[in-house]
Chain A
Amino acid sequence: MTTELDPLIHVPTRLKIVATLAALPDGDALSFTRLQDMLALTPGNLIIQLRKLEDAGYISSTKTRNGSARKTTVALTGQGRAALRDYTQALRDLLGGLDTGATSPDNTVDEISAGNTKPKRGPRPRPGRNHPDPADPAPPERPGLLPGPAR
């Protein structure tokens, strides 16, 4: 039984990114601009999160140039899809198949993303060794990994 929550995905913003990209058919990519619009994130925040996912091999990014216009697209890799599958299975295991309100949450996506959450009752997961990304600090800027946003 998988009970480890992937700390790389178990951060609200990155979970939303991975879930959004996973809704596309395998092999399709999404422009940085569309992703940013869908998630209502600032370009800087999105780049930071995408870099982490790209470092782990969960997403791939491609930069194309058409005349003066630059376009950056991102796609979930096979490894990223597998990681999301494992993460989802771990959630199921942790929640123990009980009705936890996962499909009718007390908090909306935006509230959770913004940190405006309230504690929920329900089965507490077992103590484990898998720590989430502590406070999810932003890494220093590194050039060359994910191209900057282009519209």
Chain B
Amino acid sequence: MDHIPGTARDGFDPGQAAALLDQATRRARRQFTPLSPLLFTYRAVVALVVFGGFWLSVRGQHPYTGHISGWAIAVAVVLAAINIGWTAWGIGRAGTGVSGPAQRKWQAWTGIMTAAWIIGYAVTAPLYHAGVSHPVWGLYPASAPLLMIGLAGAAVAAAFRYWPLAGTALGIAVAAAAAGFGGPAGSWLITGIGLCAVCLGIATFTAWRQRRSMVRP
């Protein structure tokens, strides 16, 4: 009797093999992805809530003082802490048991970007301490740190050939640059909307990349 390749005796036909290949690949991609689509979606919500909250707390100020209300800062701290914890957990989970050049490169990227975020926002402290004018204080924190972080991140990601992350970082820089035109109060809102859009974009892209079929073109 003729034998059909991949079928018969073990009941494992090509259709099932294709399904198994796709599902095993998707499962592995999900588990090896440090920054999940859900995390990026959460970040999109955080950007909108935090920067939107800042905007709400400063938009009615006449004259503009740049003072952000305590509740907005408290919400930002809590959501940012959750984001940091979730990110650290995701990176740790994805990298468990993985070794090699790509893994070392990812660790280097993580270290560089952590430093960029800290330095980017740390320089606002000397400005505040120096007593810069309120319009400057209003514009600077909303756009300048993100502009620097975005550009640095895009350069490093491009050097590492992380093209989706390079696009994301560039999107952050563009949103921050656009925010500069929004005025002291409006810059917060523009930054929030811009970051939200960028995060939703990378979340969609990551989800698509995880789900794309190995077999189906």
The size class of the interface chain A forms with chain B is 35 or more
A127 to chain B, nearest CB (A): 4
Q: Is the interface of B mostly helix, strand, loop or mixed?
A: helix
Q: Is the CB of A127 within 8 A of B19?
A: no
Task: Decide if B103 is an interface residue (CB 8 Å cutoff).
Answer: yes
By a CB distance below 8 angstroms, the chain B residues around A134 are: 9
Task: Give the contacts of A55-111 with B (CB-CB under 8 A).
Answer: 73, 75, 88, 91-92, 94-95, 97, 100-103, 105-109
Cα A129 to Cα B30 with chains together (Å)? 36
Assess the A19–B24 pair: CB atoms within 8 A.
Answer: yes
Which residues of chain B (45-68) have a CB below 8 Å from chain A? none
Chain B interface size, under 10 / 10 to 19 / 20 to 34 / 35 or more? 35 or more
Chain B positions 94 through 135: 1 when the CB is less than 8 Å from some CB of chain A, otherwise 0: 001111111100000000000000000000000000000000
Q: Indicate whether A139 reaches chain B with its CB closer than 8 angstroms.
A: no
The answer on a CB contact under 8 Å between B97 and A10 is no
Name the B residues within 8 Å of A106 (CB-CB): 19
A135 close to B (CB within 8 Å)? yes
Q: Tell me, rounded to whole Å, the shortest Cβ–Cβ distance linking B202 to chain A.
A: 19
Chain B residue nearest to A38 (CB atoms) is B31
Q: Which of A27, A31, A122, A135 contacts B15 (CB 8 A)?
A: A122
Verify A135–B10 contact, CB threshold 8 A: yes
A10 to chain B, nearest CB (A): 5
Q: B98 to A30, Cβ gap below 8 A?
A: yes
Whole-angstrom distance between the Cβ of A80 and the nearest chain B Cβ: 14
